[in-house]
Structure 1
Amino acid sequence: MARTGSGSLLARRNIKLDSFLKRNTERTVYERIRVYEPCVVISETINKVYMHVVLSDESVYLTEYPPRTLTAVFNFKCVRDIELVNDLPDFLRGKDRELCQHIRITYVTEKPAAKGRDWLRRDRREGLPPAAPPSRRNSLYPTTTHTLEGYPAQRDHSERRTEEVHTLPPTRSASCPNPETLGLLRVPRPPTQPPSTATSPTSSPTSPLSPLAQRLNIAETRQVPRRIGSVLSRLLRRDSVNSREEREAELHLYAVSHTSRLYLHLQSSWNSFIIKSTLLLDPLYRRRCSASSGSSHGKQLPAISWERTAHLFGQLSSELLQEEISVESLYLLLQELKTAAHRNVALRRLFWRSSDVCVFLVQSLEESLHDCESLRGVYTADQLLLSTLIVQTLAVMFRETEVEPARLSLLSAKKGALASRMLLALICDPELQTQNQRSLMDCELQALLAEYLDAASSLLFEMLLLGHEATRCSSTDNVLSVGWILQVLQPHPHLLAFIGYQAQQVVLVLSEPQESFLSPGQSVLLFQRCRLLLACLQYNSQLAQHLRSNFREEFRYFVKLPCAEEKLPPHYPISQPTLQLIEQILTLNQHR
């Protein structure tokens, strides 16, 4: 959720719900909440109940209206599909029926269909990285130094079901009573009809519905009589069947706000989760992203507060922006910034609120990559290393900051002036302009250039994710939409060669005989490149024609789904979404 200061919510802030979440969730959970929105909810055990959907980086929660308990429905690792359904729900009326967004989420659960709730336990996560000891300007996180002239260095069922009851922490506020003493609206039995024809639950005869609930003709969980124990808790304690086989379940959310962006946030969170969880399967990446929690005799140090993070980021920014900074100092400071941003989402939010740092990085990329190219026609190792680090740092800053208002404001200001500069600075000639391609120096430069092109693909992917959101929320000038992004890039002299290189890499990865699976990093890069190619095929006729003219046969004869399945490990969260993208690309690439 977008925040200011110590983390207060910004967009569409519901003070009562925000206060409830802040009091009754762990700090690490609260600080990762992206957005919440009221919806009509239908699942196997909930039938058209007006509730709040709470979305974090990793899970989807439900809470009553008004809030009493917070229950995790599923983790994004269980999600199989998130889609918009084009229908007219019969339980809504008037414009609400015509304009509501019906979101269907398919996920995997091990819980039985009729004997228990499909609600998972609240997940617990580690705190934010610890503060550094106060000395000089403290490093946000230690970094590895690099040189610029080369490569850097068994219980029974009743016990298990009881564990799944989500209770409030003992330190809760007195204003939030124990959920066991709260009466909840009676939850109907799982509907035997499809969700659109199921019978709506009824509230207490003496409990008037809110105006919105009356207009929607649905039940609402407010002003209900108290009971000794909630129906929800009793349902959770029912004996479950012995079968624990995986099965698919569905959650239907009907966003009744005409300006709802819940679907976009769900898609964005899912994308972020599958990328991050796949990369975390790599031990090296996991060490880089983990906080220094065991540095003091195995004891976890306190998490860095928002205020201290802001203070350290301010000091680092001052050093970055000082005049006449050396290339080596700039490189080391950017390493520190990127490492810290990997571990701390608060720092990523602060980055977008400090426009000076973002503008400085874009300007540095322009000078490092394109000034040298225009003056001498060749790249140097120093320039490629610095350019790669800048692009990698910018890509990290996009991660999990979708609901940060400052990001959209900065990139869309002045009709997307800064975003245009970033896009044009990103694209480069993928071929080295040298005479002896077989020399040792040229081989090293080609490897550095390939590393830069990988990073550029990742950053362009992040920009396109932002564009997909802008495309669905069309404005008058449609700045930052996918079509706008590709239109900005179209005049670039090296765009066709750049896109051709990305397509060639997809073909090579999927066609080369390979005995082992792709690594987590390779799988994520393949996913990002596929998203890029799909956007070109869908949103820009010139780029689509270029891909069909030059790569139709390669994709037809060398890219096969069975081979792709053999290269993508089934336990990677990103494997199935990548296969879906490949199938779409193969279909579109054959169209004339």
Structure 2
Amino acid sequence: MARTGSGALLSRRNIKLDSFLKRNMERMVYERIRAYEPCVVKSETINKVYMHVVLSDERVYLTEYPPRTLTEAFCFRDVQDIELVNDLPDFLRGKDRELCQHIRVTYITEKPAARGRDWLRRDRRVGLPPRRPSLYPTITHTLEGYPEHSPSGEEVYMLPPTRSASCPNPETLGLLRVPHPPTQSVSTTPSLYSPTGSPTSSPSSSNHRLNLPDTGQLQRRIGSVLSRLLRRDCANSGEEREAELHLYAISHTSRLYLRIQSSWNSFIIRSTLLLDTLFRGRCSASSDSSSTKQLPAISCERTAHLFGQLSSELLQEGIGVERLYLLLQELRTAAHHNIALRRLFWKTSEVCVFLVQTLEESLHGCQSLSGIHTEDQLLLSTLVVQTLAVMFRETDVEPARLNLLSAKKGSLTSRMLLALICDAELQTQNLADCEVSCSLLTLILLFIESVVNVSLLRQLQALLAEYLDAACSLLFEILLSGHEASRCSSADNFLSVGWILGVLQPHPHLLSFISYQAQQVVLVLSDGQESFLSPFQSVLLFQRCRLLLACLQSNSQLAQHLQIHFREEFRYSVKLVCAQEKLPPHYPISRPTLRLLQQILTLFCTDNHTQRHMHLQLKTGL
């Protein structure tokens, strides 16, 4: 459940808003709310109104302050870009104007533009009844259960007389405080909707005497016909257009931008992976509230009980490797299905510490004399890393996660990072040398097959590549948690991108690990490869691009290494046109990946003097 507010990383819950959401949302949707925060909202139909922004893992909702109705603002599948705007809003004054964070969300919509609604408004002069523009967007539902329209640009809600500490002074906001029009009797003024949703009117006696249709009914029929014609025209055109939602968070410590970015990243990754048949089978219990068929939800108490049982089995002494592997598979699969289990994972440190220790021992503590990992070591290490990566997914608002990762100056996080990195370049090179040597010796001496099993070496190389893919995904998740700290001025949250890369910098195998990730980007996007990338390959490309961009922007040593060894390859082998051909347009992750590639190519094409200047500007992170 959401636990955030303006000006605090993970502040106390808003009891009134939380109760409202719980009553008006399905349980599955309510439990996946990630955050909410008050801010000023501006869109095509809302003109600078102080509202609550409610953030789930799939959609962003808006509700009044205090809450009365709940309206969907946009779905993450339609988002084109989310950016911070460096400006000073003219409707704010004083310190609020300087501290404001202006967030602009650009998304695709098929709803008619505002000028279509203005066209109906002009018809009011010829006797049409007032009709709100939300007849054309989605109709929401009020607490009473019958439809009510979302606010229009002409409506300004009166701020509540009593405000919480997080609500700014309305005078400093520059928002209008106009009283609501006096309430009129239902018997004298016709209403657009009755409690059952049907129009009601009070027919005049003169019309009955003349046997003429009621004027109010006639006007509503005309308006209904016009609205249907307008909607049909828009539906027939089928043209998509871009719309913008502007959010003004009145606090320089607001986390709203970071929360929306994180939710967008999670959504595009998950929705892209769900296009893969194998992943969809593993995560058959889709979290999309629009699904018509869902598996029955497991109660929080039942989830806690099952997690406790699984944890006790994992932590028992003398557990064998095979039994450990099966239990970890069960934990990873359950975490894919149940976000409540992921939250429980961070509330107790025992399982996380155990996984980090297992990774340290399996990947670095028991290598063979030749320096090559065994098959069991690579399989177990990959499963541990995949399980940790799943636990990071969509748990960024959990206070327990931050507390665990930052405890003792980030000691557990440091262990996780250092255990994650392995010598990818050396081990793949050793395997390649062995394979070539074996091939030459096989042509000369037939008995060499009894000494070296070439197929086994190839299998180990494939398992190593699978581990490196999983390690990139986990490092991507850790870096995402660092992006928030990079923009945070709080000394308590030191887990920034710069700190993460600084912990990794002394690792003897970091450069070979980063080089492998960069080389994979070049190979995937070079000519002669497959025409289309699979969903898994597309997600991995996105994660690798985020990793490379962080290295280029936040660590001078890694940036220099990439510039020296991969500048020419990225300038001449990686083309955006080629990337567009390989990333299917229906993948939700395609457009964000292309945007990341554009940023990376720009940095690789920048001369050294400008590159050093950019490092000074961007050393705090993305």
TM range (shorter): 0.7 to 0.9
Q: Deviations over 1:53-95 (max 9, x none)?
A: 1110000101111111101011000000101111111111111
1:369 and 2:400 correspond: no
In 1, the alpha carbon distance for the partners of 2:182 and 2:51 equals: 18
The residue number in structure 1 matching 2:25 is: 25
Q: Deviations over 1:307-347 (max 9, x none)?
A: 10010000000000000110000000000000011111111
1:585 to 600, 604, 615: 600
| Structure 1 position 45, deviation (Å) | 1.1
Query: Does the 8 A contact of 1:207 with 1:224 survive in 2?
Result: no
Unaligned ranges ≥5, structure 1? 118-159, 169-175, 190-200
The residue number in structure 2 matching 1:44 is: 44
What one-letter code is carried by the residue in structure 2 that aligns with 1:40? V
1:187 and 2:181 correspond: no
1:567 and 2:561 correspond: no
Unaligned ranges ≥5, structure 2? 118-133, 200-219, 437-453, 609-622
Query: Does the 8 A contact of 1:181 with 1:230 survive in 2?
Result: no
Structure 1 pair 181/468, CA: closer, same or farther in 2 (3 Å)? Answer: closer
In 2, the alpha carbon distance for the partners of 1:494 and 1:484 equals: 18
Query: Does the 8 A contact of 1:47 with 1:188 survive in 2?
Result: yes
In 2, the alpha carbon distance for the partners of 1:273 and 1:300 equals: 19
Structure 1 pair 161/214, CA: closer, same or farther in 2 (3 Å)? Answer: closer
In 1, the alpha carbon distance for the partners of 2:162 and 2:491 equals: 38
The residue number in structure 2 matching 1:350 is: 344
What one-letter code is carried by the residue in structure 2 that aligns with 1:388? T
Structure 1 pair 32/224, CA: closer, same or farther in 2 (3 Å)? Answer: farther
The residue number in structure 2 matching 1:502 is: 517
1:167 and 2:141 correspond: yes
In 1, the alpha carbon distance for the partners of 2:537 and 2:31 equals: 30
In 2, the alpha carbon distance for the partners of 1:22 and 1:488 equals: 42
1:459 and 2:474 correspond: yes
RMSD of equivalent CA atoms:
3.1
Query: Does the 8 A contact of 1:180 with 1:230 survive in 2?
Result: no
The residue number in structure 2 matching 1:102 is: 102
Query: Does the 8 A contact of 1:51 with 1:64 survive in 2?
Result: yes
Query: Does the 8 A contact of 2:139 with 2:148 survive in 1?
Result: no
Normalised by the size of structure 1, how large is the TM-score?
0.82
Normalised by the size of structure 2, how large is the TM-score?
0.78
In 2, the alpha carbon distance for the partners of 1:97 and 1:362 equals: 45
The residue number in structure 2 matching 1:437 is: 435
What one-letter code is carried by the residue in structure 1 that aligns with 2:153? P
| Structure 1 position 163, deviation (Å) | 9.2
Structure 1 pair 497/312, CA: closer, same or farther in 2 (3 Å)? Answer: same
1:273 and 2:238 correspond: no
Query: Does the 8 A contact of 2:3 with 2:35 survive in 1?
Result: no
| Structure 1 position 180, deviation (Å) | 5.3
1:217 and 2:174 correspond: yes
| Structure 1 position 515, deviation (Å) | 4.6
Greater Cα offset, 427-436 or 443-452: 427-436
In 2, the alpha carbon distance for the partners of 1:323 and 1:391 equals: 21
The residue number in structure 1 matching 2:442 is: none
| Structure 1 position 215, deviation (Å) | 2.6
| Structure 1 position 214, deviation (Å) | 2.8
In 1, the alpha carbon distance for the partners of 2:343 and 2:560 equals: 38
Structure 1 pair 515/42, CA: closer, same or farther in 2 (3 Å)? Answer: same
In 1, the alpha carbon distance for the partners of 2:490 and 2:294 equals: 47
Structure 1 pair 500/271, CA: closer, same or farther in 2 (3 Å)? Answer: same
1:303 and 2:312 correspond: no
**Aligned-partner SS, 1:105:** strand
Structure 1 pair 584/207, CA: closer, same or farther in 2 (3 Å)? Answer: closer
Query: Does the 8 A contact of 2:140 with 2:147 survive in 1?
Result: no
Structure 1 pair 111/585, CA: closer, same or farther in 2 (3 Å)? Answer: same
**Aligned-partner SS, 1:492:** coil
Identical-pair percentage: 72
| Structure 1 position 161, deviation (Å) | 5.8
Query: Does the 8 A contact of 1:86 with 1:102 survive in 2?
Result: yes
1:256 and 2:230 correspond: no
**Aligned-partner SS, 1:177:** coil
Q: Deviations over 1:186-215 (max 9, x none)?
A: 7335xxxxxxxxxxx6567x9968672233
The residue number in structure 1 matching 2:440 is: none
Query: Does the 8 A contact of 1:77 with 1:573 survive in 2?
Result: yes
Query: Does the 8 A contact of 1:66 with 1:222 survive in 2?
Result: no
What one-letter code is carried by the residue in structure 2 that aligns with 1:79? V
**Aligned-partner SS, 1:436:** helix
In 2, the alpha carbon distance for the partners of 1:355 and 1:62 equals: 36
In 2, the alpha carbon distance for the partners of 1:230 and 1:207 equals: 26
In 1, the alpha carbon distance for the partners of 2:584 and 2:14 equals: 42
| Structure 1 position 476, deviation (Å) | 2.8
The residue correspondences of 1:54-453 to structure 2 (distance < 5 A) are 54-114=54-114, 164-168=138-142, 176-178=143-145, 187-189=152-154, 212-219=169-176, 238-239=227-228, 240-241=230-231, 242-243=233-234, 244-291=238-285, 302-373=296-367, 377-430=371-424, 431-432=426-427, 433=430, 436-438=434-436, 439-453=454-468
In 1, the alpha carbon distance for the partners of 2:179 and 2:21 equals: 18
1:486 and 2:501 correspond: yes
| Structure 1 position 506, deviation (Å) | 0.4
The residue number in structure 2 matching 1:135 is: none
Query: Does the 8 A contact of 1:32 with 1:56 survive in 2?
Result: yes
In 2, the alpha carbon distance for the partners of 1:454 and 1:264 equals: 25
Query: Does the 8 A contact of 1:203 with 1:224 survive in 2?
Result: no
Structure 1 pair 374/443, CA: closer, same or farther in 2 (3 Å)? Answer: closer
| Structure 1 position 115, deviation (Å) | 6.3
| Structure 1 position 267, deviation (Å) | 0.3
The residue correspondences of 1:541-560 to structure 2 (distance < 5 A) are 541-560=556-575
Query: Does the 8 A contact of 2:66 with 2:160 survive in 1?
Result: no
What one-letter code is carried by the residue in structure 2 that aligns with 1:95? K
In 2, the alpha carbon distance for the partners of 1:401 and 1:334 equals: 19
Which structure's CA Rg is the greater one? 2
1:516 to 512, 526, 531: 531
What one-letter code is carried by the residue in structure 2 that aligns with 1:23? R
In 2, the alpha carbon distance for the partners of 1:18 and 1:225 equals: 30
What one-letter code is carried by the residue in structure 2 that aligns with 1:72? E
In 1, the alpha carbon distance for the partners of 2:3 and 2:492 equals: 27
What one-letter code is carried by the residue in structure 2 that aligns with 1:314? G
The residue number in structure 2 matching 1:143 is: none
Q: Deviations over 1:487-541 (max 9, x none)?
A: 0000000000000000000000000413531000000000000110010000000
Query: Does the 8 A contact of 1:50 with 1:213 survive in 2?
Result: no
Q: Deviations over 1:409-432 (max 9, x none)?
A: 100111110000000000001132
The residue number in structure 2 matching 1:535 is: 550
In 1, the alpha carbon distance for the partners of 2:488 and 2:246 equals: 22
Structure 1 pair 325/164, CA: closer, same or farther in 2 (3 Å)? Answer: same
- Structure (1/2) with the larger helix percentage: 2
What one-letter code is carried by the residue in structure 2 that aligns with 1:335? Q
